[in-house]
Amino acid sequence: MTKPLSLIRNRYLLILDLPLLGLAAIASFYLRLDGDGMQQHFQIMGVYALSAMILKLPIFYAFGLYRRFWRYAGVKDLLSIAFATLSGTALVTLWVYSVASLIFGFQAIPRSIPIIDWMLSMMFIGGMRLSIKVMARERIPWVDWNGKSHLNAKTDQEQRVLVMGAGDAGALMVREMQENPGLCKTPVGLLDDNESKKGLMIHGIPVRGTREDIPALVKNMQVDQVLIAMPTASGQAIRGVVEICRQVGVEFKTIPGIYELIDGSVSITQAREVGLEDLLRRAPVTIDKPGSLDYLNDNVVLVTGAGGSIGSELCRQIASCHPEKLLLLGHGENSIYHIQRELVEAYPALDVISFIADIRDRERLDVLFARYQPQVVFHAAAHKHVPLMEQNVAEAVANNVTGTHTLLQTSVAHDVSKFVLISTDKAVNPVNVMGCTKRLAELCVQDAAKRTGLSYAAVRFGNVLGSRGSVVPLFQAQIAEGGPVTVTHPEMERYFMTIPEAVQLVLQAGAMGKGKEIFVLDMGKQVRIAELARELIRLSGLKIGDDIEIEYTGIRPGEKLSEELFGEHENPHPTEHEKILVAQGNNQWSSQELSDHLEELRELVSAGSPSSIQHKLQEIIPTYRF
């Protein structure tokens, strides 16, 4: 039966180690002694060299030096060589000074010889193994142990890659391409906007300049692809590189941004087409995840709306914080099934339990809470489609207001210690039913915190890129159909952030909540929807006017040109986190008054009169305009 290739290679390593160990032993005598001294020590030198060859090999085997794939050797493997050679030299020295000296009757050898022998052994044994790693990584033509020649011939599929970004991520990309020939990618250079890095070598590949050098390098070095390895760069920086690549006509890809790399790891397999979220990416914010998110560790956490865009990302990031159990609650069975399956595969040790339920069903919630006793609740379930909720006023109130109030009552009754509501910027001076219901949901959360003293809070932010209800999927579908891309108004603008970034800040805000807060995420500057459409068209390789048109259709019911993050009576206050603020001074109702309003609202919802419901909403939320 044929041995695996790695074992055949290690057998040859064992055979090569024998003469190298003998050579190291003999060389240590010649380096330590002069000609006259050597004549007196020929016998002991022979015994020492033979002992080194016999006694060190079992030590090497015990340290696993013959069970390693040296092509992927790292620091730990080099330390193993150092300790193995040290232990082997110590054993040989002990043998020679004790038993061998009595048997052969020779005098003790100089004490420096074992030290020289150890250093030479480490150099010979380590150097041979390191050469294997270098030959594999650099793809130097060599003959494998099975006799087959491996030549560094460029295949038709192989791509010459220029890596933009000479930081940690860029270095990892270069190393992975070098160590995995199956990727068919050859790094030919790195680029970095920090000009002081020019001329430096990273894993043997030079930093050849800045982004301005891309056109010349693509032409002179026959570059097939530019890989943008800048996970912490801003959207402006990414846009600059993309624009240069477009002008040159070279293929470009990127690795995910820092907010998408939840565990901090990055791999060449994550490289993807540049998306809108990359072009709008903001500079990253340091989040003290190990310390600030301890409230999730070893606790039972419930996420409502767990199958939605925000809810599913909450589940992913919470799962990485090692909760005791993660409870997924949602109304759509397919979306809950998909996120449950994803979590079970990614975190096999985590207890993930799914429930198909309505947050308005108090009896069902009581059974769930009594059985699993969640300590932390993230409430992401809501109807969010603005024009659709204008046509379904009663359902919007029943789900977003009554459902939230029912969930809060259940949470209080079952001693949930922390509750976080996912709110929206549309709750500020609302002009639509959806925004008004979310503002009322905020008031319900504040009231529950005021009555109980528990850490119940809301987190308010704007649109997120990639959600199922956002405008981006609509634009992408229109582009795929050949257009036109429809925009409601040329001046319409919205706040945008990526889903991973929003969720990380939500979890951070949840850690800071003491009770009654409405946290507001710093969304940066608003982005014009028309500009989003233009960027998506350009990313698709099309030209506006020539290949596809943009049409303006007019503002729909419930929409306004710009959103706001703070109401007219709200005062923004900073928190310990630079990207999270608190809106204060915005709750004018007592608990009894709010309870009476909610009861009357329930009766109006049951009656089903949209106009009556909206007038009641305006009475509760005076800033609501419809």
Domain of 267, in residue numbers = 159-279
Residue pointed to by tokens 């000074």: 97
Q: Which residue has the higher pLDDT, 355 or 275?
A: 355
pLDDT of residue 142: 38
In this structure, the answer to whether residues 126 and 186 fall within a common structural domain is: no
190 domain residue, yes or no: yes
Beta strand 418-424 pairing with 376-379: parallel
| Contact in structure between 266 and 169 (CB atoms under 8 Å) | yes
Q: Where a domain ends, among 260, 279, 298? A: 279
In this structure, the answer to whether residues 400 and 536 fall within a common structural domain is: yes
pLDDT of residue 72: 58
Q: Which residue has the higher pLDDT, 313 or 9?
A: 313
| pLDDT averaged over every residue in the chain | 83
Catalytic residue among 185, 289, 418, 426: 426
Residue pointed to by tokens 């805000």: 509
pLDDT of residue 1: 41
Q: Which residue has the higher pLDDT, 235 or 434?
A: 434
In this structure, the answer to whether residues 502 and 458 fall within a common structural domain is: yes
What confidence tens digit (pLDDT) does each residue in 162-188 have?
999 888 888 888 888 887 777 888 889
Average the pLDDT over each of 149-158, 415-424, 545-554 and give the range with the smallest value: 149-158
pLDDT of residue 92: 86
Let me know if 426 is a catalytic residue: yes
164 domain residue, yes or no: yes
Residue 152 has pLDDT above 50, yes or no: no
What one-character-per-residue DSSP string does 223-289 give?
--EEEE--TT--HHHHHHHHHHHHHHT-EEEEPPPTTT-TTS---GGG-B---HHHHT--------H
**Residue 527 C-alpha from the chain's centroid:** 25
- pLDDT band at 235, cuts 50/70/90? confident
Tell me which range, 103-112, 432-441, 530-539, is most confidently predicted by mean pLDDT.
Answer: 432-441
Residue 116 has pLDDT above 60, yes or no: yes
In this structure, the answer to whether residues 344 and 468 fall within a common structural domain is: yes
Rounded distance between C-alpha atoms, residue 147 and residue 601, angstroms: 83
- pLDDT band at 270, cuts 50/70/90? low
Order of strands, sheet of 351-356, starting from the edge strand that comes earlier in the sequence: 351-356, 325-330, 300-304, 376-379, 418-424, 455-461, 518-521, 580-584, 571-574
- pLDDT band at 133, cuts 50/70/90? low
In this structure, the answer to whether residues 473 and 375 fall within a common structural domain is: yes
Report the percentage of the chain scoring pLDDT > 70: 84
pLDDT of residue 75: 73
In this structure, the answer to whether residues 81 and 190 fall within a common structural domain is: no
Q: Where a domain ends, among 227, 254, 279? A: 279
Rounded distance between C-alpha atoms, residue 157 and residue 402, angstroms: 59
CB atoms within 10 A of CB 325: 17
Residue 6 has pLDDT above 50, yes or no: no
How does DSSP classify residue 226? E
pLDDT of residue 518: 93
Q: Which residue has the higher pLDDT, 284 or 85?
A: 85
In this structure, the answer to whether residues 19 and 139 fall within a common structural domain is: yes
What one-character-per-residue DSSP string does 73-115 give?
--HHHHHHHHHHHHHHHHHHHHHIIIIIHHHH-PPPPPTHHHH
pLDDT of residue 15: 84
Tell me which range, 71-75, 274-278, 420-424, is most confidently predicted by mean pLDDT.
Answer: 420-424
Q: Where a domain ends, among 279, 309, 325? A: 279
148 domain residue, yes or no: no
pLDDT of residue 35: 60
**Angstrom distances, CA of residue 273 to CA of 212, 226, 269, 429:** 21, 11, 12, 38
CB atoms within 10 A of CB 558: 21
| Contact in structure between 294 and 272 (CB atoms under 8 Å) | no
Q: Which of 253, 167, 151 is nearest to 207 (CA)?
A: 167
- pLDDT band at 620, cuts 50/70/90? very high
Q: Which residue has the higher pLDDT, 153 or 209?
A: 209
pLDDT of residue 97: 78
HSE (side-chain half, CA atoms, 13 Å) at 525: 6
626 domain residue, yes or no: no
Rounded distance between C-alpha atoms, residue 436 and residue 423, angstroms: 11
Q: Which residue has the higher pLDDT, 603 or 540?
A: 603
| Contact in structure between 509 and 519 (CB atoms under 8 Å) | yes
Give Dmax (Cα) for the chain.
114
150 domain residue, yes or no: no
User: Which whole number is the average pLDDT over 306-324?
Assistant: 93
Average the pLDDT over each of 1-5, 229-233, 405-409, 418-422 and give the range with the smallest value: 1-5
570 domain residue, yes or no: yes
Ordered alpha helix ranges (H), 148-204: 168-179
In this structure, the answer to whether residues 204 and 318 fall within a common structural domain is: no
pLDDT of residue 4: 44
Burial of residue 584 (CB within 10 Å: 0-12, 13-18, 19+) is middle
Residue 440 has pLDDT above 70, yes or no: yes
Residue 323: cis peptide before it, omega within 30 degrees of 0: no
Q: Which of 307, 265, 230, 296 is nearest to 504 (CA)?
A: 296
| Contact in structure between 613 and 604 (CB atoms under 8 Å) | yes
In this structure, the answer to whether residues 421 and 526 fall within a common structural domain is: yes
**Domains of the chain: total:** 3
In this structure, the answer to whether residues 275 and 315 fall within a common structural domain is: no
Enumerate residues 6+ apart whose C-beta is below 8 A from 593. none
Residue 471 has pLDDT above 50, yes or no: yes
608 domain residue, yes or no: yes
CB atoms within 10 A of CB 100: 18
Q: Which residues share a beta bridge with 493?
A: 528
**Angstrom distances, CA of residue 383 to CA of 133, 314, 388, 400, 469:** 56, 18, 9, 7, 10
Give the end-to-end CA distance of the chain in Å, rounded to a whole number: 81
Average the pLDDT over each of 259-273, 480-494, 526-540, 543-557 and give the range with the smallest value: 259-273
Token pair belonging to 447: 């009231």
Average the pLDDT over each of 52-56, 244-248, 255-259 and give the range with the smallest value: 255-259
**Residue 532 C-alpha from the chain's centroid:** 24
CATH number at residue 222: 3.40.50.720
In this structure, the answer to whether residues 137 and 176 fall within a common structural domain is: no
3-state secondary structure labels for all residues of 161-230: EEEECCCHHHHHHHHHHHHCHHHCEEEEEEECCCHHHCCCEECCEEEEECHHHHHHHHHHCCCCEEEECC
Rounded distance between C-alpha atoms, residue 443 and residue 437, angstroms: 10
Give the H/E segment covering residue 573: strand 571-574
In this structure, the answer to whether residues 255 and 307 fall within a common structural domain is: no
284 domain residue, yes or no: no
How does DSSP classify residue 70? G
pLDDT of residue 347: 93
